[in-house]
Amino acid sequence: MCVPNSSSQNPNGDPKKPPVKSFGNMGPDHWTRSRRDLNEAAFEYYRERGKAPGVAEGGGYRNFYCMDCDGVIPTDPPVGACPHCGVAIHGEVRRYFNWVEIDTPPTSDWLALRPYLLAAGLTSILLIWFLTWLI
């Protein structure tokens, strides 16, 4: 256990003397307490997230969040709409606590590539026909 020496701490909060690094018990110089004023925007975000629909009720081992109302949606059993706002849940994109998952790739990739593949095929056929015509 690493506890800083009490004589090396900065109990008066002297701005000229930097606080001692602390990695042991959470004393006044521990990094989470020394930076508490720097993270107010993050704390405010988490306070607001705690007020979202369904957060107070808890949930299962893995939940995701509604993209519209930020409400908690349980994974089991699967639901087709948000229980809080009624918006339809699309299976491709799910928002979790600090990331977004895309379950399946978009279905339009083949449709977007089809004109290019068709043009390449026609160009190849014309090139082969022209080369055979020359020989």
**pLDDT tens-digit profile, the chain (135 residues):** 444 444 444 455 566 777 666 566 666 666 666 666 777 887 888 888 888 888 777 766 678 888 888 888 887 777 888 888 888 887 777 888 777 887 766 667 778 889 999 999 999 999 999 999 888
The set of residues, in sequence order, having a beta carbon less than 8 Å from that of 58 and lying 6+ positions away, is none
- The pLDDT of residue 126 is 95
pLDDT value, residue 8: 44
- pLDDT for 2 equals 47
Residue 41: which residues within 8 A CB-CB, separation 6 or more? none
Q: Which pLDDT does position 5 carry in this prediction?
A: 45
The amino acid sitting at 51 is K
Q: Give the three-state DSSP class for 47.
A: helix
3-state helix, strand, coil in the chain (%, to 5): 30, 10, 55
For residues 54 and 74, give the distance between their C-alpha atoms in angstroms, rounded to a whole number.
Answer: 9
Spatial distance between the Cα atoms of 118 and 120, rounded to a whole number of angstroms: 5
Q: Give the per-residue pLDDT at 115.
A: 92
Residue 75: its pLDDT value, please? Answer: 78
Q: Give the CA count within 13 Å in the CB-facing half-sphere of 107.
A: 2
SS3 118: helix
Query: Which sequence spans correspond to the domains of the chain?
Result: 107-135
